[in-house]
Amino acid sequence: MTAPSPEVALTRPDPAADPGPLDERLYELVEARFRRLVRDSPVTATYLGIHTDDGRLGDGTRDALLGEIDADRRHVVEIEALDPEGLSAEALVERDLEVHNVRRTIFDGEVLRIWERRSTALDTVGDGLFLLFARDFAPLPERLASIAGRLEAVPAFLDQHRTRAVVPQVRLWQQLEIESAGELPSFLDEIGAAATGLRESDRRRLARASEAARAAIGEYGRWLTESLEKGTDEWALGRERYDELVGLRAFDGLDSDAVLAIGWQQLAENRAARAATAREIDPDVDEATVIDRIKSDHPPTFESALDAYREVMVRARAHLIERDIVTVPDDERLAVVPTPEYLRNVIPFAAYFEPPKFDRDPSGIYIVTPGVGDNPTAMREHNRSSISNTSIHEAYPGHHLQLSVSSRHPSLTRLIADAPEFVEGWGMYSEQMMREQGFDDDANFRLNMYTDAIWRAVRIILDIRMHRGEVGVEEAIRFMVEHTSFEEANARAEVHRYTYTPTYQLSYLLGKVLLLQLRADEQRRLGDRFSLRAFHDALLRNGSLPISFHRRLLASANGSHAS
């Protein structure tokens, strides 16, 4: 039996000026679910900066997951039973968002059931180790002790995950996990190399745990390979389930056909803009030649590319402050590191891990992928124009700034809201807004911005058409290479990820479109009283919410931007 974790001091919104009699009951229910989530998923707890169970991986069994779904069913019934008349206006927003969050989670578990058809145990293990290794929330020996505990839990955890596979496994997804099984041991080597300063007994414990984990990963890899024979190549949701998922995402009333139309429109507009910008750069050569030149302008090594990413971040942050574009907290921190090998086949470019809300001194992590496989042209994706655009998206004023500010909101419901159309949409909105505000706005940077927008338009089209069963993987890869000029290895990794993240990939450009519309609506509503900085600050303070909720909060502010 595992001893119960000590209680963690949680946060909740301040009492409303006109509180409702059911406000406290709502927040009690929200906190109870939150405690259950972090208890049942220690890796999620680590991600959020709660370190009471850093040495555990949790229960990976099918029964445990079904139990979580049942608990969420009961929770949403309790939340919906709260009479809106008994809630303050502030608490009513929290109630409606909580219902939105939990309904989405239940749909994923009960209807999509990707967890039943795709093995994700190694992703969980890798993330659980990476978060402890890369974040400096405690001295390294203390973090390595927690890593040893998680490594000791790996054999049982991998066995538990096998119980989920009661239906044919999707071969493509299993192949991705097989690749993770081959790559994760190299990360264990990196962890072992960092243990030289430990006491002899601690070093021996870590080494024993690592060897047992290696053996278990090897055995799990063999089981994954055996699953291929009886697997399936069917992974698309189909039109009905996909449309239901789009409805649950609360995209300001848009259905999948309307979103698809936006994707095609954005593809055409951004292709035209890129062609015009290429002519601006050099009217005497074709567009492909201009793109090739830009992609050929890259740092000589990946290490020097990382330095270039850091340099752009520093300039972008200073630009935000100098131009009074948005408030930048004095105490935010960001580290830039190479993507761990176990993640490189599913994150071919870059990604971001947000500052943990409950850490004492939280820092964001910006990971950059050197390349996928042994691709000799990988550095072309780290060209100087792309480095600028990606750093705006991931760092300033993109994900890092947005998530650093949003995590300061005391609402637990907002902390775990499912709204990639705002988070990713804000990243894309930032790319355009920074060009509007004069940052790296030369033609080569704008061409790369249009290239990235074309990529995100392709994501909308492929996300919808792949999951509605209209396009297969190989056709999708060809479509992406044709329209983005990506190297094929990167395009393949991209498309593979789309197959198990329905509606996530379309969130980027759709979110940007919705945010630009929201900004225009606010400018019309407020007229001369509109302030770009106040608009940005209100969005970031309000948290990572569906844009329909942001619209509701801004409209309720009675003529001002409020939180």
Q: What is the 3-state secondary structure (H, E, C) of 61-118?
A: CHHHHHHHHHHHHHHHHHHHCCCHHHCCHHHHHHHHHHHHHHHHHHHHHHHHCHHHHC
Largest CA distance in the chain: 73
Both ends of the chain: CA-CA distance in Å?
44
pLDDT per residue rounded down to tens, the chain (563 residues): 344 455 678 999 999 999 999 999 999 999 999 999 999 999 999 999 999 999 999 999 999 999 999 999 999 999 999 999 999 999 999 999 999 999 999 999 999 999 999 999 999 999 999 899 888 899 999 999 999 999 999 999 999 999 999 999 999 999 999 998 998 998 899 899 889 889 999 999 999 999 999 999 999 999 999 999 999 999 999 999 999 999 999 888 899 999 999 999 999 999 999 999 999 999 999 999 999 999 999 999 888 988 999 999 999 999 999 999 999 999 999 988 888 776 666 576 778 888 899 998 888 988 888 876 667 777 888 899 999 998 999 999 999 999 999 999 999 999 999 899 999 999 999 999 999 999 999 999 999 999 889 999 999 999 999 999 999 999 999 999 999 877 788 889 899 999 999 999 999 999 999 999 999 999 999 999 999 999 999 999 999 999 999 999 999 875 444 44
Distance CA 476, CA 491 (A): 9
The confidence score (pLDDT) of residue 429 equals: 97
* Separation CA 370–CA 487 (nearest Å): 13
Residues 6 or more apart whose CB falls under 8 angstroms from that of 8 comprise 35, 38, 50, 52, 358
Question: What does the radius of gyration of the chain's CA atoms come to, in whole angstroms?
Answer: 23
Give the pLDDT confidence score for residue 461 in this predicted structure: 98
**DSSP letter (8 states) at residue 4:** P
pTM: 0.90
512 contact partners, CB below 8 Å, separation of at least 6: 425, 428, 429, 432, 456
Determine the pLDDT at residue 102: 97
pLDDT of residue 1: 36
State how far the Cα of 101 lies from the Cα of 385, in Å rounded to an integer: 37
Residue with tokens 């993640």: 343
The whole-number pLDDT of residue 100 equals 96
Q: What is the helix (H) or strand (E) element at residue 356, kind and residue range?
A: none
Tokens of 359: 């850490």
- Output the six-digit token pair for 1: 């039996």
Q: Confirm if 500 and 284 have CB atoms less than 8 A apart.
A: no
Q: What's the pLDDT at 372?
A: 64
pLDDT at 311: 95
